[in-house]
Amino acid sequence: MVAGADGILVALQDGREAMAELIGTDPETDLAVLKIDLPDLPVATISEEEQLRTGDVVMAIGNPFGLGQTVTKGIISATGRSQLGLNTYEDFIQTDAAINQGNSGGALINAYGRLIGINTAIFSQSGGSQGIGFAIPAPLALNVMEQIIEKGRVIRGWLGVEVQPLTDELAESFGLIQARGIVVSGLYRNGPAWNAGLRPGDVIMTIDGEPASSGRQAMNLVARTRPGQTVELEVLRDGQPMIFAAEVSVRPTFGS
């Protein structure tokens, strides 16, 4: 946790310590970028392109309960976990490597010692590890880091639309055969979706050809789109298919 900290002290495994400079934070992924000024710093090899597979052996490194550097071993239990209510943007690696209080911010590495994720949270009814831990994938963390360093903050795409799931009941009321898509429940005035012509009650079926299966999935898809690009929205309005083109804007900061 760096939010609200008066100072941040980084302690290395070789015994050296240094006060860190906070370069920036991204509350929506729970990541921060720190800078320390020390010579001959050890460097972790980041795994950007390796395909993560369920069952792969992983190790979690951290400082649980203030004991000092600790390593625990497990496997990847699942990838792409979301809708956990932990962060705004979620695409977690799930692991059964023991992650306890104090492991957050530590490395999740593969059997080759390459960084594949940043430990961030556990699911626990007791406060201790129950074999369900979550890590932010390294490519996402790397993208956040690079944007904070280059731009001072993370730039994400935004359409300015509020949505809700298309339940069976709503699908029936719209005269749809099956519940597929997401329902526009609100629009930000003069936002990209508003300017494109969308209305409350429209059912978004696809975004640039990708099925809109949930609000969070659609938000993540738009967030990865570079502001200024145009996306094509396949929409059902009163049961009739329509196509809209919306120019993605920069997502505003809604608190932090």
pLDDT of residue 124: 65
Which pLDDT value is given to residue 125? 60
Q: Which residues contact 129 (CB under 8 A, 6 or more apart)?
A: 98, 99, 100, 122
Query: How far apart, in whole angstroms, are the C-alpha atoms of residue 158 and residue 139?
Result: 21
Q: Are the CB atoms for 203 and 240 separated by under 8 Å?
A: no
Of the residues 151, 168, 198, the one at which a domain ends: 151
* pLDDT score of 85: 64
DSSP summary character for residue 213: -
Q: Are residues 50 and 146 in the same domain?
A: yes
Per residue in 114-165, pLDDT (tens digit) is: 999 999 877 766 666 677 889 999 988 999 999 999 999 999 999 999 999 8
pLDDT at 67: 78
pLDDT the model gives residue 256:
41
Residues 188 and 218 in one domain: yes
Token pair for residue 242? 């329509």
Domain boundary among 151, 169, 203: 151
Q: Residue 122 and residue 101: Cα distance in Å, rounded? A: 8
pTM summary value: 0.77
Last residue of a domain, one of 123, 151, 179: 151
∠ CA 150-216-178, nearest 5°, is: 150
Is the same domain home to 186 and 146? Answer: no
- Do 128 and 174 fall within a single domain? no
**What residues in the chain have per-residue pLDDT under 50?**
255-256
Domain limits for position 201: 157-250
Asked if 145 and 185 sit in the same domain, the reply is: no
Q: Is residue 21 part of a domain?
A: no
Q: What is the pLDDT of residue 35?
A: 95
